[in-house]
Chain A
C-alpha cells in the first residue's frame, strides 16, 4: 500500500473523489439539511445560473488580492530580510512584532472602513495588516535558520553588508520564502474575503453574504467554490516556485 508514486497518486485521487461524492450524496440522502450544505451539483448549478453576477464581482476580489499580496508579501519579505540581516534590528523589532502578531486584526476592520471607505481601499488595508506581520516573522525565522557559515565565508572574501544580503542571504533563504508566501498569500485571501463579507459593495465575499441573507445556500456555496479556486491556484503557483528554488537549498 502506498509504495509507488502511482499508488500514492491513486490514493490521493480516490480521497478527493470520496469527498466530492460525500458532498453530492449526503445532502441528497437527507443526512445533512440542504440549507446547511446543498449538494455539489446544486452549488455548481448556482455557479452557472448566477455566472453573470459572479463574473461581475470576481475582478474586484482578484484585484484586491493582488494589490494586498504585493504590499503585504512584498513588504513583509523585504522588511523581514532587512531585519533578519542585523542582530540589533532583530533584538529591537522582534518583540514588538511578535506582540502585534497576537492582536486579533479583525477588530481593526471597522477602523479600515472609516479610513478607506466601503470600496477596495478598506479591503486592501485590512488584508495587508492581516498578512504583513506573519509574512515578516516567517521570513525572519527562515533566515535565522540558515547556517552562519556561508555569511562568514562571504565576509572573509570581502562582501559588504549589502552584498551579503543580496548574494548570500536572499538566495539561501529562497526555499523558506516560499513558506512565507504560502502563509502570507493564504492570509491575504482570507483577509480580502472576510473584509468583503463584513462590509462591502462588491466582491465574492459580498456576494456570499448577500446569498446567505436570502437563505440561498447554493448561491453561498457557488461563491465558496470560486474562493477555493483562487486558493488552489495560489497553491499550484507556489508548488511551481518551490521546484524552481529547490537547488537553493543548503547542500
Chain B
C-alpha cells in the first residue's frame, strides 16, 4: 500500500549555527534550507567565513546545529555516519605512520573489518584513484596531489552514497587541481554518488557541478541557487564558452556585493 518515499540524499531544514566564544556570539549560519536529490553534484561557494564549511561539517555529523534538522536519506544526522557519508578535507590528513593502503583502509579498521579484506578493498581504491604503484609508500614519500588521492580513496572505501569535499584542492597547484577535478568527475559519473563540494574557485565550481549554491558573508545564508546547464561530459574548452562565463559572472556578482 505504502509508496516508497523518494528522499533527498541530503536535507537541510531550517538549520542555524551560532558559536559563542568568550561571551561573544557569532551567527555562522542563518536559518538555511537545502534539498539535494540523490546523484546530484552540488558546489557550495561564497566569501570566506560564509558558513559553507560549517554546513559541510554539520552534514558530516562532526557538530550539531544550534537549530533545525539535517537528514541523510530521510534519517536524522546525529553524529558521523561514515558508511553513508564520506569526507575529504582540505588537507589530506593522512596518518604519517601508515602506508597509503593502510590509510585508505583506516575507516574499515575502525569498523572491525578483517585485515586481509580491508587491505584488499584499499588496494582496489588506490587502483581507482591511480595510485596502484604507490600502495606501500608512507605519506611523506608522496606529493601533495598523491596524498589527496589517498584521501579521496579513504573517503570512497566504504562506498558511501554521499561524498563531502571541503576545498579538497585548495592546497594544490593549478595543474594538479584540474587533473584531480576530472578524476572526481569520473568517479562521480561512474558511481552516481551525491557530492557536496565546497570551493573558493568559481571556475572549478562551474566546471564540476550540476548546481551551485551561493552563500553570503556572515551571517551565512543562501543567496542564489544556480543550475549549471552545461552538457556533460565537461571539457576543458567549455571553460572559454560564453555560457561558462555568464554563469561565473552571475556568481561573482553575489560574492563581490557580499564583500563590501
Contact = CB atoms under 8 A, between A and B. Distances in A.
Interface stretch (A15-23, A80-88, A156-164, A208-216): A156-164
A158 B138 contact: no
Given A154-B110, A156-B82, A249-B96, A149 B91 contact: yes
B111 A156 contact: no
B110 A251 contact: no
Interface string A138-179: 000000000001101111111110010001100110000000
**Chain B CB within 10 Å, residue with most, of A159, A171, A172, A249:** A159
A115 interface: no
A248 B109 CA distance: 19
Interface in A196-251: 247-251
Contact of B107 (A152, A157, A160, A168): A157
A248 B96 contact: yes
A157 B93 contact: no
A92 B107 CA distance: 32
B145 to A, nearest CB: 15
Given A251-B139, A251-B140, A157 B106 contact: yes
Interface residues of B, number: 24
B205 interface: no
A150 B110 contact: no
Contacts, number: 60
A158 B80 contact: yes
B89 A153 contact: yes
Contact of B97 (A154, A155, A156, A171): A171
Contacts of B87: 153, 156-157
B187 interface: no
A160 B111 CA distance: 10
A155 B91 CA distance: 15
A158 B96 CA distance: 19
Nearest to A159: B110
Given A157-B82, A163-B110, A247 B93 contact: no
**Chain A CB within 10 Å, residue with most, of B87, B91, B96, B154:** B96
B60 interface: yes
Interface in A98-119: none
Given A153-B89, A251-B139, A158 B95 contact: no
Contacts of A172: 95-96
A251 B80 contact: no
B62 A250 contact: no
Contacts of B96: 172, 247-251
A155 B80 contact: yes
A136 B248 CA distance: 55
B80 A157 contact: yes
B94 interface: yes
Contacts of B80: 155-158
Contacts of A159: 110
Nearest to A174: B97
Contacts of A168: 95
A156 B106 contact: no
A248 B154 CA distance: 20
B97 A247 contact: yes
Given A251-B139, A251-B140, A157 B110 contact: yes
A153 B93 contact: yes
A173 to B, nearest CB: 11
B62 A155 contact: yes
13 contacts: A149-B89, A149-B93, A153-B87, A154-B106, A155-B80, A157-B106, A157-B154, A158-B80, A158-B81, A158-B110, A158-B111, A172-B96, A248-B97
Given A160-B110, A167-B95, A251-B94, 16 more contacts: A149-B89, A149-B91, A150-B93, A150-B95, A153-B89, A154-B106, A155-B80, A156-B62, A156-B82, A156-B89, A157-B80, A157-B82, A167-B106, A168-B95, A247-B138, A248-B96
The 4 closest A-B pairs by CB, nearest first: A158-B82, A251-B140, A157-B107, A153-B93
